[in-house]
Structure 1
Amino acid sequence: MLAYIDDREAAGVASVERMRDAWKAMRAYWADLMPDAITDKLAQNYSATRRASVATIRTELGILAAALNLGERHGHIKRAPKVWRPQAPERRERHLTKAEFRAFLDACVAPHVRLYAILGVTTAARPSAILDLTWDRVDLEAGMANLNPVGRIQTAKRRPRVPLNDVAVEALRAAYDARQSIWVIERGGQKVGSIKKGFLAASERAGFKVTPYTLRHTGAVWMAEAGVPMPEIAQFLGHDDDRTTQRHYARFSPHYLRNAAGALKW
C-alpha cells in the first residue's frame, strides 16, 4: 500500500494525504493479509466492523483495490483480486434556484468569497480546481479558463478548459485589477486554502446552507434545465463520459423522457 501511495505522490495526485490517512485506519485489518487471501467476505466484515460512513468505507476499499491493481500491472503480484465494496448511497445534493443563488451572493461579504461563489456556478468546477486557479491560466480576452495547472496529470477528476460567460469575465476583470498575487482566489495576497469558513458565514446570513459543491451541482442543474445536451455538460464538468452526467442530471432536462411519454398515446 505504501508503494502505491508513493507512486501516486510521484504522479502528482492531490489526494495523497487522504490516502495516507485512510491507510492508518485500514492498516490493522489489511496489512498482514496476502492478496490471494482477500475475499468478498473479508471486505464485507471490514465494512460491518469499521465505524465509518459508507462513503468512507467505499473510499478505503477503493484505495485498496487500486493498490492491488497497480501491483498486478507492475508484476509484484500475479493477479489482483476484485475487492467488494458496499453500494454507494444515492446522493441528493441540493441545488439552488436562481433567486436563492442571488440571495446567497448578496450574503457573501468578503470579496474572495463572492468571487468564488460566482466562479463556483459559472465554471461548475470542483472546489480544489477553483482554489488552485492562477491568473496565467485565465484569458479574459478569449473568455477561457484552463482549470488544470501546468504539470498536473489529469486524473479521473478531470480539470477541463471552460469558457467564461459575461458574468464571470466581469467579476474576474474587477478581481484582476485588484490582484495582489498569482492566485485568482486570494485573501491579503495569499492563496485561500479553504473557502468553507466563508461559505458558513454567508450561509448563516442567507438563512440556508450552501457548500462549494452545492454550486458545482447548481451549475450542472441549470445547464440541464436549459436543455444543454448531456455530452456537453459532461465535458464542462470534466466527466470522462456522459454516463455519470446522465445519471445525476438527465432528469432536470426539459427533454427528459419526452419522446417516451409521447409514444404512449392512442
Structure 2
Amino acid sequence: MPATYTPIEGFGEYSLVRHANGNFYIAWYEPTKRQTRRRGLKTKVTSDAMDRVRQISESGMTGDPLAALEAKVVRTVADVLNEHRNYVKDLASVEAETIHIDLICASAIANKRVAALTRRDFEALRDTWVATGTKISTVSRRLSTLRSAIKRAVDNKQLSANDAPKVPEFRSAHHVRAAEPKGDPCGTEALARLYDATEEPHLQLYLTMLFATAARRTSVLELEGKQIDREHSLLDLNTKGRVQTDKYRPVLPILAPLQLWLELIPDGRLIMWRDKPVISVKTGIRRAIARAGLPNDINSYSVRHSLGRFMNRAGVDDKQISVWLGHIRPPQNNKITLIYSPYAPEYMLDARQAAEKFIGEIAAQAKTPLLTPPNSVQAYLQRLIAVEKRDREG
C-alpha cells in the first residue's frame, strides 16, 4: 500500500484507510487485477468513516462498494426518521406517525448518531416530554415510531444491526392498566346522534362498519370488499398479505341487521374520497361530533369501548369479547375450537347476538337509515363499483 495511505481498521474484506490529506477511503483487494483499490468516503470524521465501512461490510456486499456508497446514508436520528417518512405516508396512521417524527426531529437527540445513542439519551428525552405534561403512554407511542424507523433502516441495509440501539419501553404494566380509554365510552343514543350528524357518505359507511365490528380505526380504513366471505357471511378484518401483529384482526360474522349492505359493497377499498383511499377520518368525525353536540372526548375508539361494555353487561364471556375486539387470538384448545371456528354455526354466538342488539339500538334511535344503506351511501357505493369497472376495462 502506498505510504500516503495509513491503515486504520479492517472490516471483513474491506478496510478503512486514511490519506495523508486527512480524507478517509474504503479499500479492498481485487483478485482479477491483483491490486488494492480504494474509493473515497468524502469525510475526514473518523467515526463517520468507520460507521460507513462497517455498514458496507455487514450488508454482505463484496467487491466494488460503489453502489453502497451512492446509496442514501443514514447516521443520525433525523436521517433515519426522514427516510421513514416515505414509508408512513401510505399508512392509515400517517397523521400520528408524522407528528411523532416531527417531535423527535425537534428534540435533543435528532442530530445524534444512532450508533451512539444510550439509554440515558432516551431517559432524558422521556423526562423532557413528561415535564411538559406528556403522558407515558404518549411517550411510548412516539418512541415506537423511532423503533420502527431504526428496524426498517437495518432491514434496508442503511444501518448496521450492530449500530441499532435498543429503544426502551418506558410504559410499565401498571401504566397499561391505569391508562384511560382512548375514546370515552358512550351509549347507543350518543352514537345514533353521531351517525345522524355525519354528512359525508364515506363517513356514514365508516361508522356503520365500525358499529358492526368495533374494529380499530385502521382496520376499517383499510377494509376491502373482497375481505367479505358472502357464502359464509364472514368478514376477515385482516387484509390479504398482512402479517398479524399483537393488534390481532379477527374474522367476524356479518351481523344479520346489515345483510342488505352486502349486495351493494364492491370488491375494492371501501372508505374512499375522490377515488383515493382515506388515510384519516379524524377531522370529519370531529366535525360530526361538534354538529351532534357531543363531548370532545368521544371519537372512533368510543365505539370499541362502548360495544365492549355493552357485551359485558349482556353477560358475554370475557374470552369472546377479547377475541371479537382483537385483544387475543382465538383459543386453540381442541375442546373449544368449534366455538372459535368462523365456519361453526355457534361461532361466538353470544358476542354476535350482543353486537346485533347493539347496532339495533343505534338504528332505532337514529333518524338516518342504518339497517339499510341511506340513499347517499347507495350512490357512493354505486360510484365505487363504476370506478372499479372502468379501471378493469382499462
TM-score over 0.5 for the alignment?
A: yes
Identify the residue that residue 292 of structure 2 maps to in structure 1. 206
Mark the CA change 1:84 to 1:189 in structure 2 (over 3 Å): closer, same or farther: closer
Please report how far the alpha carbon of residue 148 of structure 1 lies from its aligned counterpart in structure 2 after TM superposition.
Answer: 1.5
CA 1:187–1:36: 2 relative to 1, 3 Å? closer
Instruction: Quote the Cα distance in structure 1 between the aligned partners of 2:165 and 2:150.
Output: 5
1:85 maps to which residue?
170
- Deviation of 1:124 after TM superposition, in Å, equals 0.9
| 1:57 alignment partner, SS class | helix
Alignment partner of 1:38 is 2:118: yes
Instruction: Report the CA distance between 1:145 and its aligned residue.
Output: 1.0
Amino acid at match of 1:59: R
Check whether the contact 2:198–2:288 (CA below 8 A) recurs between aligned residues: yes
Q: Distance in 1 between matches of 2:171 and 2:186?
A: 30
In the superposition, relative to structure 1, how do residues 158 and 147 fare at CA in structure 2: closer, same or farther (>3 Å)?
same
> Where does 1:244-255 land on structure 2 (aligned, <5 Å)?
none
Alignment partner of 1:116: what SS? helix
SS in 2 for 1:162: strand
Which residue matches 1:157?
Answer: 247
1:223 aligns with 2:311: yes
Structural mapping, 1:96-107, within 5 Å:
96-107=186-197
Is the counterpart of residue 48 in structure 1 residue 127 in structure 2?
yes
Unmatched segments (≥5 aa) in structure 1: 243-266
How many angstroms apart in 1 are the aligned matches of 2:121 and 2:80?
22
Q: 1:238 aligns with which of 326, 330, 355?
A: 326
Q: Percent identity?
A: 23
Quote the RMSD (CA, aligned, Å): 3.9
Give the TM-score, by structure 1 length: 0.68
For residues 81-114 of structure 1, give each alpha carbon's deviation from its aligned partner in whole angstroms, at most 9, with x where no partner exists. Answer: 5725156462143122122222322333333222
Q: CA deviation at 1:23?
A: 4.8
CA distance in structure 2 between the aligned counterparts of 1:26 and 1:82, rounded to whole angstroms: 13
User: Does the 8 A contact of 2:185 with 2:303 survive in 1?
Assistant: yes
Query: Counting helix residues as a fraction of each chain, which structure ranks higher?
Result: 1
**More deviation in 72-81 or 131-140?**
72-81
Match of 1:131 in 2: 221
Cα displacement (A) at 1:169: 2.4
1:38–1:192 distance in 2 versus 1, CA, 3 Å: closer
Equivalent pair of 1:231/1:241 in contact (CA under 8 Å): no
- AA aligned to 1:103 is R
Report what 2:143 is aligned to. Answer: 61
Cα gap change, 1:53 to 1:127, in 2 (>3 Å)? same
Q: Matched residues in 2 for 1:208 and 1:61: separation?
A: 32
Q: 1:22-37 maps to which residues of 2 (within 5 A)?
A: 22-23=100-101, 25-26=103-104, 29-30=108-109, 32=112
Q: What is the aligned partner in structure 2 of residue 197 from structure 1?
A: 283
**Paired letter, 1:85:** F
- SS in structure 2 of the partner of residue 59 of structure 1: helix
The Cα shift of 1:192 comes to 3.1
Give per-residue Cα distances to partners, 1:6-65, cap 9 Å, x unaligned: 7xx6xx9876886676455435544636778723x5433222223572233222334556
Cα deviation digits, residues 122-172 of structure 1 (max 9, x gap): 101111111111111112342211111112222222222211111232334
Change (3 A) 1:71 1:166: same
* Preserved contact between residue 94 and residue 217 of structure 1 (Cα < 8 Å): yes
* 108, 114, 119: which one aligns with 2:204: 114
Cα separation, 2, equivalents of 1:201 and 1:79: 42
Task: Tell me which of the two structures has the higher relative contact order, counting C-alpha pairs closer than 8 angstroms and 6 or more residues apart.
Answer: 1
Task: Return closer, same or farther for 1:29/1:160 CA change in 2, 3 Å cut-off.
Answer: same
The answer (yes or no) to whether the contact 1:43–1:84 under 8 Å persists in 2 is no
* Secondary structure, counterpart of 2:235 in structure 1: strand
Task: Tell me, yes or no, if the aligned pair for 1:132 and 1:183 is still in contact at 8 Å.
Answer: yes
Cα distance change on mapping 1:61 and 1:199 into 2, 3 Å: closer
SS at the partner of 1:150? coil
Match among 266, 272, 277 for residue 186 of structure 1: 272
The answer on whether the counterparts of 1:95 and 1:217 sit within 8 Å (CA) in structure 2 is yes
| Separation of aligned partners in 2, 1:115 and 1:45 | 44
Alpha-carbon contact 2:184-2:301 (below 8 Å) kept = no
1:144–1:163 CA contact under 8 A, matched in 2: yes
Aligned mates of 1:223, 1:105 — CA distance in 2: 21
Distance 2:133 2:101 in 1: 14
- Residues 136, 24 of structure 1: alpha-carbon distance in 2 compared, 3 angstrom cutoff: same
Q: Counterparts of 2:152 and 2:318 in 1: how far apart (Å)?
A: 32
Query: Which amino acid is the alignment partner of residue 184 of structure 1?
Result: L
